[in-house]
Structure 1
Amino acid sequence: MPDPYPGESLLSWADALARLNQVSRTVALRMAGMADSSSVSDIFGYHVSDAFVRAVRHTTGVTEEQVRGMTLAHYAGRAPDPLPQHEPEGQDLLARWRYRQRMVLRQCSNACPACLRENRARWLLKWPLAWSFACVEHGRYLISTCRGCGAVLHL
């Protein structure tokens, strides 16, 4: 089981698990207890329910703090507005919250190619945030499209 990389996003960690086990992302999500979540937003890393955290902790041994720290909820209440209360029956409040945060949370992501090379393609949680435009460690602007094919970067 790979340890979460400091500052890594939840989906990036699932991708690292997939690479380690040579399986698809979908299979890795199931292996880590993430695919049976009642909330699609859990998988994409905005907010995780207590049941989701318990399932991931039970399956992988990753602590509750680590799981919650790999979601964008980690930043909620700072630049993004605080997250709404969890709705067991629907995702309307969370969908409205994400829409209101569109100036802070980009549709696509930026990335530092040097960081990706050094940390073996572990995607940092802060990269999709609007204020992340440069890598302090490498002294470079982040990119938002692939230099090779021009495709928009998504985690």
Structure 2
Amino acid sequence: MPVPVPGESFTSWVDAVARDSRCYPNQLVVDAWRLRKSRTASMARLDAGLTGRELQQIHAATGIRAEVLNGMRLARYTDQPLPALADLQDEWHAGALSFIRDRFLLRDHSRWCPLCLKESNGRWYLRWKSAWSYACTDHEVFLSAVCPTCYEPQDWIRAGPADRRLFCPGRRFHDSISVRRSSRCSHPLTEVPSTPVTDPVLLSIQKSIDYGFEGSPTVQPGARSALRLFLFPLLVDLILKFRSPDMFHDADPAIASANEEGASQSPSLSQGPTAYYDVAHPLLVAGAIHLGFRLVTGESRHAASEQFVELAYGKIVKHGRAWGSEPEYLPWHQRQLLPPRLSEMLMDRGVIRDSL
């Protein structure tokens, strides 16, 4: 039986065991591990819906310790201490952790590194389920988000064939004169072209974020300053909401290109319960984190904040009262998740407001 590889997600390991056992994942968890069908109707429940008793049942069947199994699930990021929040005061800790539960996790799909996927023969890492995981620091490439053939995100939590860790399970539609038919896409996910990360600061920030979530010892010296982003998580959301090309002219070329006016974004990334705003797109998230890092740690962060506020205000003026461009209503308990000086500037310019 395959054992979990370091950093692997729980559902990826379930799929590997099912492949080794030549059965479907839902058959494995019900017939071999004796989990109730009600808990496995959707494979997504394996990430969040297992009880301690059920983890012990899986341990008894596989020999993998329950604490190891629990550390492979999304609960690791919501129910266990995070290194990034270890030194926060209680009120800040509660607010940041609540934000992580709601906005940091991609519950219904996953990004991936094609090179990692090839090396591991189809094992998917848990950190790829973080909305702030935009790059692979081992191969120094941006993570992939959708299949280039059918443009579907890789959610891989439905109970399907066990080989789909390496091949896209999406559907391709074929129109004929009389009928519209579909077939499985099956594009090899290990062959998806990878975009190199040319900005070393982006890689350093990603290592810091990985450390903040998992305590990874590979974080570079000096990169811990990026952990301040965990203190002000709402900042990334605001940048995504009010982003404009002028905010990213000095960013990594791939980020600048993704933020150009009229840049093509796959419609698949704007659907589903975790596709809030643009957070499903790794290049857009990378750009927001790149700018957020400057606003909270850069030597010229005051000037950078002024520029961001003016550009955000300009977007509101340009689009009038169109949906998505109105001043953001933020009560006090959410405004504390922004840098105080930047919050004041946004309020003064009317980009955010404190009343309905």
TM score, norm. by length of structure 1:
0.77
What secondary structure is seen at the aligned counterpart in 1 of 2:57? helix
More off after superposition, 23-32 vs 2-11: 23-32
Cα distance change on mapping 1:101 and 1:75 into 2, 3 Å: closer
Q: Name structure 1 gaps, 5 residues minimum.
A: 82-96
Cα–Cα, structure 1 residues 72 and 134, in superposed 2: closer, same or farther, change >3 Å?
A: same
- Give the Å deviation of 1:44: 3.0
Determine the structure 1 residue equivalent to 2:11.
11
Query: In structure 1, how many angstroms separate the alpha carbons of the residues matched to 2:98 and 2:25?
Result: 24
1:69 aligns with 2:71: yes
State the partner residue of 1:119.
120
Report if the CA contact (8 A) 1:32-1:60 is conserved: no
> Could you tell me which amino acid in structure 1 is paired with residue 145 of structure 2?
S
1:30-69: per-residue Cα shift (whole Å, max 9, x none)?
Answer: 2552632774688431353211111001111111221111
Tell me the distance in 2 between the aligned counterparts of 1:70 and 1:32. Answer: 20
* 1:130 equivalent in alignment to 2:134: no
Structure 2 equivalent of residue 20 of structure 1: 20
SS of 1:138's equivalent in the other structure is: coil
Q: Which has the larger radius of gyration?
A: 2
Equivalence map 1:29-68=2 (5 Å):
29-33=29-33, 35-36=35-36, 39=39, 43-46=45-48, 48-68=50-70
Distance 2:118 2:31 in 1: 26
SS of structure 2 residue aligned to 1:114: helix
TM-score by length of 2: 0.35
2:7–2:125 CA contact under 8 A, matched in 1: yes
By percentage of residues, which structure has more helix? 2
Q: Which amino acid aligns with 2:152?
A: A
Greater shift, 28-37 or 126-135, is seen at: 28-37
Give distance in 2, aligned partners of 1:50 and 1:42: 17
CA distance in 1, matches of 2:63, 2:51: 17
Question: What is the RMSD computed on CA atoms of the aligned residues?
Answer: 2.9
Distance (whole Å) between structure 2 residues aligned to residue 37 and residue 56 of structure 1 = 15
CA distance in 2, matches of 1:34, 1:124: 25
CA distance 1:32–1:99, shift in 2 (3 Å)? farther
Task: Flag as ranges the 4+ runs of structure 1 deviating above 6 A.
Answer: 97-100
Residue pair 2:35, 2:54 contacting (<8 A) in 1 also = no
Contact 1:134 1:141 in 2 (8 A): yes
- Identity across matched positions, percent: 31
What amino acid is aligned across from residue 18 of structure 2 in structure 1? Answer: A
Secondary structure of the residue aligned to 1:101 is helix
Give the partner amino acid of 1:101.
R
Are the structure 2 counterparts of residues 29 and 55 from structure 1 closer, same or farther at C-alpha, using a change threshold of 3 Å? same
CA distance in 2, matches of 1:151, 1:98: 29
Aligned length, in residue pairs: 140
Report which structure shows greater RCO (CA 8 Å, sep ≥6). 1
Q: Is the 8 A contact 2:30 2:37 kept in 1?
A: no
Q: Distance in 1 between matches of 2:117 and 2:128?
A: 12
Contact 2:39/2:45, CA 8 A, preserved across alignment? yes
